[in-house]
A and B are shown apart, each in its own frame.
Chain A
Amino acid sequence: MSRLNVELPGLNLKNPIMPASGCFGFGREYSQFYDLSVLGAIMIKATTVEPRFGNPTPRVAETDAGMLNAIGLQNPGLEKVIAKELPWLSQFDVPIIANVAGSLEEDYVAVASEISKAANVHALELNISCPNVKTGGIAFGTIPEVAKQLTRKVKEVSEVPVYVKLSPNVTNIVEMAKAVEEGGADGLTMINTIVGMRLDLKTGRPILANRTGGLSGPAIKPVAIRMIYEVSQAVSLPIIGMGGVQSAEDVVEYFYAGASAVAVGTANFVDPFVCPTIIEELPPILEKLGFEHISECKGRSWKQHEPFAHYRA
């Protein structure tokens, strides 16, 4: 019997491990290393109505235990993703979670209604949290009422369950989570990157052409764990957790915090085999820790104790 299968709205996962959006393209590059069917799911690169070029370069800058990126949602656009990328991915036995982005409410609605019709798209991930685009993104991800309204609009047109990707760049993440729950979200994914900046020692100027970028990698894991710990106690939506995951131990920690599945982003750049390696290493670690099934780890950080009254209010 598998210790790893997980059921989530729209997603019947053979294991809870999936590459995070923007860190795996549309899978083509990584398919040269391993059979993508071993993955629990794939979160594809953000898709917008029109093709986007994104920001000028440099678009990435390394930091201690992390990296900043300011890609700017470069993607080939809805039409091409539906005509080329999704059909190509359908050769693999793996559900796709389509990351949906835009500048205006109607952009999100347009992408969601079309892309959710694709046979292998089993869920949407509403990207209301990209820190690297000038318009749209930020208000959707930081003002609870706006996020709720957008979620509702997208839910109306989507043919598959809708997960909303939360931004850590807010003062009260629980409030955001509750708002999108009220808007009808089926699940949450968190966290997106944390806004940061690096300066060049010689010139004194920002290294990134966009000046600021989103911090990802091991450096942000404690922030993600804390936020999932808080949100998972405050809402009843399942959470796909992400931020600095690089090992099977990290996955267990995310489950302890309250996640129901885990996405791996930046670590793919460091080790292209990181996802299959984690999937292989999970069962022996669960065995060692005394769990029959991964779901037993879920919410352990707060289940044994009284949850904070504050988050239940």
Chain B
Amino acid sequence: MMQKEFCRIISQTEIAEDIFELSVKGELVSQINAPGQFVHIRVTDRWGPLLRRPISISSFNKATKQLTMIYRKEGQGTALLAKMVPGMELDILGPLGNGFPIEEVSSGETALLVGGGIGVPPLYELSKQLAAKGCNVIHVLGFQTKSTVFYEQEFLKNGETYVATVDGTYAAKGFVTDVVDRLRFDCIFACGPTPMLKALEQHYSDKKMFLSLEERMGCGIGACFACVCKKADDPLGVSYKKVCSDGPVFRAGEVVI
């Protein structure tokens, strides 16, 4: 059940160039039910920037009631967010959406987690939970350039981790899809730019796969029809799914991306 709550900021750190790790404490953490859910953040108590910003939950701890997000400072909203310091309160709506189904991978099976840029964060909690369950977890993480790489060490604790940078300034040069070709796995979980998700969906249509989508949002809770996508079995018709409330995670092939 989602809630709207003023959560206290516990810490905020720039962990890579323009990449911030933000932890808050709040009762709504008790409502999180899967890795890959997100929150909708009001970055100001004024009316500009007007809309809330959707940010994934990258990890959480129900005992301490804390959740952590990792975001890239992009435009007006995330720039304001980056200025906030511990002790301040943040207006958060969440947890929202449906996350990754960890029950789809059994202990002993291999899960491949593929993340691109700011699609990497929600995979972290997923990785922790799969590893804890006894699954074999492999990570393939793509970044633009060396200065924006984050969480490599954290992911390494849970399993093999391959990093690729688009410009080749760190680790392998190229796209995550180049790395994935060499690996063996039972199930893919991915979050990142749409071209990456599309490529995965096309190349590994024989594999079990779950993709987390992004779309511009209004309400974030299913009321405004801003974030819809077509269902794959009815591409010309009126059937739809809402990324905010039916997703953001979908089984590959369920919706048109």
List A residues at the B interface (Cβ < 8 Å): 22-25, 28-30, 32-33, 45, 50-54, 57-67, 69, 71, 74, 77, 217-218, 246, 266, 268-273
Q: Which of B170-219 contact A (CB under 8 A)?
A: 215-219
Residues of B within 8 A of A74 (CB): 225, 228, 240
Question: Which of A52, A61, A217, A266 is in CB contact (< 8 Å) with B216?
Answer: A61
Question: Which of A32, A52, A71 is in CB contact (< 8 Å) with B224?
Answer: A71
Contact yes or no, B51 A62, CB < 8 A: yes
Q: Report the bound CA distance from A22 to B225 in whole Å.
A: 8
Contact yes or no, A53 B215, CB < 8 A: no
Contact yes or no, A29 B219, CB < 8 A: yes
Residues of A within 8 A of B215 (CB): 57-58
Residues of A within 8 A of B216 (CB): 57-61
11 more CB-based (< 8 A) A-B contacts, given A57-B216, A62-B51: A22-B225, A23-B223, A25-B222, A29-B219, A32-B1, A53-B238, A59-B216, A74-B225, A246-B47, A272-B4, A272-B93
Contact yes or no, B228 A54, CB < 8 A: yes
The interface bits of chain B over 2-32 (1 if a CB of A lies within 8 angstroms of the residue's CB, else 0) are 1010000000000000000000000000000
Residues of A within 8 A of B4 (CB): 33, 271-273
Contact yes or no, A266 B227, CB < 8 A: no
26 contacts between A and B (CB under 8 A): A24-B223, A25-B222, A25-B224, A28-B223, A29-B223, A30-B221, A30-B223, A32-B221, A53-B228, A53-B237, A59-B228, A60-B51, A60-B226, A61-B216, A65-B47, A71-B224, A74-B225, A218-B50, A266-B50, A266-B218, A269-B220, A270-B50, A270-B51, A271-B4, A272-B93, A272-B219
Question: Which of A22, A24, A61, A65 is in CB contact (< 8 Å) with B48?
Answer: A65
If the complex has contacts A29-B219, A62-B49, A66-B50, are A71 and B237 also in contact, measured as CB distance less than 8 A? no
Q: Report the bound CA distance from A57 to B226 in whole Å.
A: 7
Q: Report the bound CA distance from A64 to B50 in whole Å.
A: 7
Contact yes or no, B52 A269, CB < 8 A: yes
Main secondary structure of the interface of B (DSSP, over half): loop
Q: Report the bound CA distance from A296 to B1 in whole Å.
A: 41
If the complex has contacts A29-B221, A65-B47, are A52 and B226 also in contact, measured as CB distance less than 8 A? no
Chain B residue nearest to A246 in the complex (CB): B47
Interface residues on B, range: 20 to 34
Query: Does B105 belong to the interface (CB within 8 Å)?
Result: no
- Distance (Å) between the CB of A99 and the closest chain B CB? 13
- Distance (Å) between the CB of A35 and the closest chain B CB? 15
List B residues at the A interface (Cβ < 8 Å): 1-2, 4, 42, 47-52, 93, 215-230, 237-238, 240, 245
Q: Report the bound CA distance from A23 to B218 in whole Å.
A: 9
- Distance (Å) between the CB of B47 and the closest chain A CB? 5
Question: Which of A71, A246, A272 is in CB contact (< 8 Å) with B225?
Answer: A71
Residues of A within 8 A of B226 (CB): 57, 59-60, 69, 71
Q: Report the bound CA distance from A69 to B42 in whole Å.
A: 19
Question: Which of B50, B221, B223, B227 is in CB contact (< 8 Å) with A62?
Answer: B50
Q: Report the bound CA distance from A69 to B48 in whole Å.
A: 17
Contact yes or no, B223 A64, CB < 8 A: no
- Distance (Å) between the CB of B87 and the closest chain A CB? 23
- Distance (Å) between the CB of B185 and the closest chain A CB? 31
- Distance (Å) between the CB of A279 and the closest chain B CB? 17
Contact yes or no, B50 A60, CB < 8 A: no
Residues of A within 8 A of B229 (CB): 57
